[in-house]
Every structure is written in C-alpha cells, then in structure tokens.
Amino acid sequence: MSDIKIKITDRDGVLHEIDAPTDMNMNLMEVVRSYELAPEGTIGICGGMAMCASCQCYVNSGHDLPEKSDDEEAMLSEAFNVEDNSRLGCQIHMTEALDGLEVELAPEEI
Ligand code: FES
C-alpha cells in the first residue's frame, strides 16, 4: 500500500477526504499544499522547519503520532490558537500507520 486516506478540514470548515502517498517522503503540510487546501503563502511559510506554525493543525483522530521534537514544542508554545491536540503539519510524515488520520487546519495567524 502506498496511499493512505486522510480527512482534512480546511480553514473554511470544509472537509476533504484525500489520498496521501506514503512513498514520496511528504509531510502533512506538503500534502495540504499539493491539494491546495490552503491559499499559497498561508501555509508552509518556513518550508517545513518547525519555525513558523503556519502549518498548525488539530489532530482529531486517536492516531499514535511520533512525539513532538523540541523544536516543535518550542514553536507551539509561541503560536496562537494552540490546543492540546495541536501539531505542526510539517512535522507529521505520511506513513501507513496514519491511514484514516483526521485533522483540521488551525486558523491563519495574522
Ligand atoms: S511549515 Fe513552518 S512550522 Fe511547519
């Protein structure tokens, strides 16, 4: 299996069920960008370095995600609209274990 199904709710509250490849070394932020689920320039601003929080999302399914790195923890401690289930999308890599993942994009920080 090389594709997984994930559900992404965009910032307008619209649910998208998409197929994400697990064999292209993509992270969730890149998947959102490739499906154009957030306007260009509002997500992935730091290029996936855990330095901007533009890719913040809320994880609504019970998947066992890898622990946050110190960089991700630090960035989320400074970001707005952070909830207990907040993660940085660029730090979530697409693996088969994430089949059925449900996430919601956090509001844009302005
Ligand atoms: S893209 Fe900047 S923190 Fe994820």
**pLDDT (0 to 100) of residue 9:** 98
Average pLDDT over residues 25-32: 97
Ligand 1 atom closest to 75 (CA): 3
**pLDDT (0 to 100) of residue 109:** 79
User: pLDDT tens-digit profile of 101-110?
Assistant: 999 999 997 6
Sheet holding 86-88, edge to edge: 15-21, 3-9, 101-105, 56-59, 86-88
**pLDDT (0 to 100) of residue 1:** 63
79 lines ligand 1 (CB under 6 A): no
pLDDT bin (cut points 50, 70, 90) of residue 29 is very high
Ligand 1 atom closest to 91 (CA): 4
48 lines ligand 1 (CB under 6 A): yes
Residue 80 has pLDDT above 80, yes or no: yes
Average pLDDT over residues 86-108: 97
**pLDDT (0 to 100) of residue 18:** 98
Nearest Cα residue to atom 3 of ligand 1: 50
The pTM of this model reads 0.96
